[in-house]
Structure 1
Amino acid sequence: MSRGRTLRAGLIGLGAMGRHHARVLSGLEGVCLAGVSDPLASKIAPFHGVPLLNDLDDLLTLGIDYAVVATPTATHEEVGLRLAAAGVCALIEKPLAHTVDAAHRLVTAFRSRGLVAAVGHIERFNPALLSLRDRLEAGELGEVFQVATRRQGPFPNRITDVGVVKDLATHDIDLTSWVTGQDYLSVSARTISRSGRAYEDMVAVVGQLERSAVANHLVNWLSPLKERSTIVTGDLGCFVADTLTADLTFYSNGAGHTEWEALSAFRGVSEGALIRYAILKREPLQVEHERFRDAVLGLPADIVPLDHGLRTVAVSVAVLRSAHEGVTVHLSDHHRLETQKAH
């Protein structure tokens, strides 16, 4: 495709996240927001002169090049498959789908038609995590020992179809694999429900990664304290990323010397220098849209491929299974069981 071509984009779903997508799409260079589809379109106030349509079929008649799917998770498969069948590229909000089998079908549908498709794992575009990943790849931490994340805040009334694992913990599952370059081998989890809904409100996860690193995730939406932190500890110290403020700090291990021979044989660390990095802070959603636009145009662009979204769905389902059965779930065994269920 020509770099100078203006792409026609469609948006499906105008809820809380959909409105953020609409805002970015409306001002995205090289893109025209051609229309928005939402079942409640007749009850929504006009949006910047963009056509509001009740049905996806009406949106497809506008000749769109790609669509952003910001509908409830349970509808991602149906909407995504209709887009793929129509030959339309898609950026699908996370999680990719509500089940592993549904995620598989989406991957197959877009891949078989050679269409550009991505998952909206927005943390991959957070400036602090982008810098963190670059520094880990450059070896600035040495061997990674542990990734610990905390993600908590007030209850979001807008979420009705999934619990905290699929809505929030999928952020941490994806970013952990992404920054470390390691898949999960096993997960052990516990959940509790306190809001009166059918889904879990809190989860604590311990995960084993491929190269012996351990992951810990504490996630809930019942806290008045809003927190988004990622701490990666390794050979040379630890990185602390605050994804609310997009700040990244490095705490180095001190080089304390001891003349006590009996202690010198034991490995330990002490507090060393602290470095706060100056990072260019661009809105993650803006960066996500720019990269997906470039990918649709055939330009080099780092997007989140659907198979990565599938991987995250598989881990999240394993987390829920672990919590339900009270066991450690090994991802290889879990994948085999899910495959058997699908057939």
Structure 2
Amino acid sequence: MALRIIVVGCGSIGKRHLGNLKALGVENLVAVDTRKDRLQEVTERIGSEILCSDNLSEQLKSKCDGVVVCVPTSIHLDVAKEAIKSGASVLIEKPLSNTSEGVPELLSLAKESSLVVAVGYTYRFWPALQKIKYFLENDQIGQIYSANIIFSEYLPDWHPWEDYRSWFMAKKELGGGALLDESHAIDIMRWLFGEARTIYGVNGTFSKLEIDSDDLAEIIVRFHSGVIGSIHMDIYGRHHRKELSVQGELGNIYWDFYKNTVALYQANLEKWEVIQFEDDRNDMFLNEVRHWLNAIQGGPKVPVDGYDALKTLSFALAAIESSMNDKVVEPFGAIDK
């Protein structure tokens, strides 16, 4: 594939993207990181043909088609802006940022240059959740009354090869924490049930983890669609769970990520139908990158662009505001396309 792609930040997700880009046929790959050990890992694990550098600005002096932004959340916008100014499209790891400040300007800059901004809400590519969206769009359980999602995973288990206390997820100033990093849960709920009308949130640090970022977000939301939702995200749950439950007029839907199943209960039949999926977790990352590569070559638009991701960020920031002021709030306005 005749594209030049730079991946900035070669931690776990950066190396995953490099491997997937290589698997999809991108031959001109550049890995950028200030840590020599990570660049050495790129060479050893992914391939010596990948150019390694500690200087993004130098690499952007040569024509670049796309930049994958895998740095800590608090500097997403800095890296993305430099890439866009150089004429490159971007794929930004979620969330878009830890603040809405500067986001509209970034998106406008990309739009003026006809560049693609994609954001890594990969669960939109997960077949089990796509099946649930199909069920909802085809009224399989009638009117939806309520929905509950939970993402709960013990932070030290995420990267057992490194001290969790040194990782960006433990540091508030770098944009780590349960609410922003696990905002997949917010994005899933928006994707399935529409935009929020009001939000009430509890967000903070409650466990004995040695972190200064938040470890819990508990959110109650009223959607414009009429659905009442609850969203739970924590990074201290010892038994890992990623689950969704939907309650409707004619039945129920239940998703379990770790079992990779969707269960459909239809009241008229008085029985559950359980659908087992066989997908590998990396498949959704591959599909995300495949869509992005197609888009920057003139293909269909990406499923999650910067404007869409800004709405998820606005939701998360509204939950923070709600928690700080102990009141129900409306999401901050996201700019239109």
Task: Give the TM-score category using the shorter length.
Answer: 0.7 to 0.9
- 1:197 corresponds in structure 2 to 211
Task: List gaps (5 residues or longer) in structure 1.
Answer: 256-271, 339-343
1:197-253 deviation digits (Å, cap 9, x = unpaired): 322111211011011101101111111111101112212211111223432111122
Cα deviation digits, residues 6-30 of structure 1 (max 9, x gap): 222110100121121122112113x
Deviations along 1:22-45, one digit per CA (max 9) or x if unpaired, are 22112113x224201112146631
Cα distance change of structure 1 residues 202 and 109 upon mapping to structure 2, 3 Å threshold: same
Change (3 A) 1:330 1:292: same
Whether the 8 Å contact between 1:34 and 1:62 is mirrored in structure 2 is no
Judge conservation of contact 1:152–1:226 (CA < 8 Å) in 2. Answer: yes
Deviation at 1:137, TM superposition (A): 1.4
Q: Name the SS of the counterpart of 2:197 in structure 1.
A: strand
CA separation in 2, counterparts of 1:27 and 1:79? 25
Q: Distance in 1 between matches of 2:279 and 2:38?
A: 36
Partner of 2:274: 276
3-state SS of paired residue (1:114)? coil
Aligned to 1:146: 146
Residue aligning to 1:174 = 187
Determine what percentage of the aligned residue pairs are the same residue: 21
Quick one: distance in 2 between partners of 1:136 and 1:302?
A: 22
Tell me how far apart the structure 2 counterparts of residues 246 and 59 of structure 1 sit (CA, whole Å). Answer: 40
State the partner residue of 2:9: 13
Match of 1:183 among 195, 220, 240: 195
Gaps of 5+ in 2: 157-163
Instruction: Give secondary structure in 2 for the equivalent of 1:44.
Output: helix
CA distance in 1, matches of 2:257, 2:54: 36
Moved segments of 4+, more than 3 Å: 41-44
Q: Separation in 2 of the partners of 1:175 and 1:93?
A: 16
AA matched with 2:2: T
What is the TM-score of this pair, normalised by structure 1?
A: 0.85
RMSD, aligned α-carbons: 2.0
When Rg is computed on C-alpha atoms for both structures, the one with the higher figure is: 1
Tell me, yes or no, if the aligned pair for 2:18 and 2:29 is still in contact at 8 Å. Answer: no
Write the deviation string for residues 254-313 of structure 1: whole angstroms up to 9, x where unpaired.
47xxxxxxxxxxxxxxxx211122546251111111111111121225421110110111
CA contact (8 A) 2:11 2:38 kept: no
For 1:102, the aligned partner's letter is: G
Alignment of 1:85-96 (within 5 A): 85-96=85-96
Aligned length: 312
Kept after mapping to 2: 8 A contact 1:126/1:246: no
Q: State the shift of 1:325 in Å.
A: 1.1
Deviation at 1:192, TM superposition (A): 3.6
Question: 1:232 aligns to what?
Answer: 246
| Counterpart secondary structure, 2:102 | helix
Map of 1:163 onto structure 2: 177
TM score, norm. by length of structure 2: 0.87
